[in-house]
Structures are given as C-alpha cells and as structure tokens.
Amino acid sequence: MNDQERSAATLESRDYSTGPFVNPRVSWRARLLNRALQTFVKRRMHNLPEIPALRRFMLKTDARLAAPVSGDIDVQTMKVSGVPCHSLTRRQSSSRTLLYLHGGGFCAHTPKTYNGFAARLCDAFEANALLPDYRLAPEHPYPAAIDDCFAVYRYLLDQGTDPGRIVVAGDSAGGCLALALMMRLRREGLPMPGCVVAMSPATDHPDNSPDLEAATRNDPMFSPEVLHLFASSYVPRPEDRTNPEALPLNGEYEGLPPLQIHVGSTEALLSHSARAAAKATAAGVEVSLNVWDSMPHVHPIFHLIPESGQAIDMMATFVRRHLP
C-alpha cells in the first residue's frame, strides 16, 4: 500500500465523531442554530412528504436566512446558453471567476440566500460569480441539472475565460453537481477549473449510506425520508445511480483539480464527504477534508454564526493559493 492509498484508507475509516475538528469549540450561536433547525426545520420538512410543499417551505425561510448583498456587488439576471443565471460583479477589478452551483436537494432554489452567500464568497475570493438557475427535479430529473451546469461552464470557456482562473463551488446538491461537472469535463476533454470547493456534498444515493438511520438521528436538518425524496426525485431510474455524472462517488478521480471539502461532524452526509475525499486522495488529487464539530448542513451559509466566516476564510486561502 503506497502513501496515497494509506491516506485514503485513513480518511474512509476514521471515526469523525471524536475529531480532530477544524473548530476547537462550538460557538453558542451555532448551538442555538442547531436547536432552531432541529425544532423548526427538520420536523417541518419531515412532515412535508411532497416536493411542492417542501419548495414552499424552503422559499419562506429564504429571506430569513439570507445575508444581505454588499453594495459593492452588482447583481443581474441573464441567460447563458439558454440557462437563467444570476451574475454577481464586484466594483473592484477581479481576475477570478466563481461558478457557484446552489443546493436545495436538486428540487428547490432559494435565490436570496444564495445571492447573499455568493456575494460573501466574491468578496473573499476577489472574484465575479455566475450562479446557474439550473432545471429542478422532479420535473427535470437527471441529467437536466448537470447539462445546464456544463453549458454555463462551457460558455465561460467560449468567452475566453482562463479555466485556471475559475473556481467551481457548490453546496449539498450543488456540491454533487460540482464534482459531477468534473466528470463531465473529463469525458468531454475540456480543461478543468483551477480548484473545486464543496460544502456538505451529496455524492451518493442514500441507499448506499452506511447506517443512514443513525446518521440522521444526530443531523439537525434531515430525516432519512427527506433525503430519499430528494434523491429519488433527481435520479428516479435505478440504472442512472451508478453514473458518475449523476452521483460522483461512482467516478474516477484521477486528474481532478485540487479539492476542498467542508462538512459537519453530525451530518447525515458526512460519509459522502469522507468517501469522496478518500477516492480523490487515492487518485493523487490534492484534497483538504475539513470536518467541523457539531456544525449543521452547509454551515458556511449561515452568516450569523462565527464558524461561517471562519470557513469562508479557509476557502479564500485555498482559492488564492491555487488561483494566485
């Protein structure tokens, strides 16, 4: 077993409940957030068995969770290769481009939340951003979302954007799409971005998650039923569940760009991050897996907790190192 294989085996087999963690302690704001999510979000989502009801609930929470967009950033809507997008442009000059792929279980989009979060990333990365409003399941199951994300990335290349100056980032379902996009780019023979940042990525089908019942018991946001509803809506055909462009844990990771992952220690999707990091490490990819003690799903998006800013600072350091 070589060093890469040993590192990969350690990543996959480690007990993440005992650390080491990125954060030495959990802030009181994060503890309060976890209680609120457990009480008002997890229970409510569990009792909403259909996608339309889940969408309405998520849109209602959108404005409450959204960070304000800085006055130094201009937000415009546009169509890119037929895909609706939000374009975020800094008033200061920016040589980097952020392609941000939003989460929402492949089934929902909360634009206020994501514009506010992407604006924070733009400031931290010194980048302009493009956020595809990709087609949603179940009306548009796989491969609609990845087709749209690929079309927007290809547009950036066609416009002369240096791929080495692009960072692709995404959270949850968007983290899945960020990694799936790398699989599509390799198949198409197109250049990879400078780096990838994935927050709490969903990389596999819930049926393949070890001990999902126990994992969701400690997760402040998701029940097994909600995770299965999202996954079955996006990838309804069993034959697609082994396709790496649908669920990227199935893919080969050789040749992928440097990858940074952030995930909470009590997340149901923790194993998705650990297994993806292990595969990438075994393939020789530079991987930074950051496990945060007791942080909820996609904790960087919650701007009122200090751990959010800490994670964004780590992402910015990573991006600047690979896109100097």
Helix 111-125 vs helix 51-65: angle between axes, to the nearest 10 degrees?
Answer: 50
Report d(CA 180, CA 173) in Å as an integer.
10
DSSP per residue, 283-297? TT--EEEEEETT--T
Query: Which positions are annotated as active-site residues?
Result: 172, 267, 297
Helix 224-234 vs helix 51-65: angle between axes, to the nearest 10 degrees?
Answer: 110
Max CA distance (Å), the chain: 53
Report d(CA 19, CA 165) in Å as an integer.
34
**How many whole angstroms from its chain centre is CA 174?**
4
Q: Are 74 and 60 in contact (CB under 8 A)?
A: no
- Sheet of 287-292: strands edge to edge? 73-80, 83-90, 127-132, 96-101, 166-171, 195-199, 259-264, 287-292
End-to-end CA distance of the chain: 34
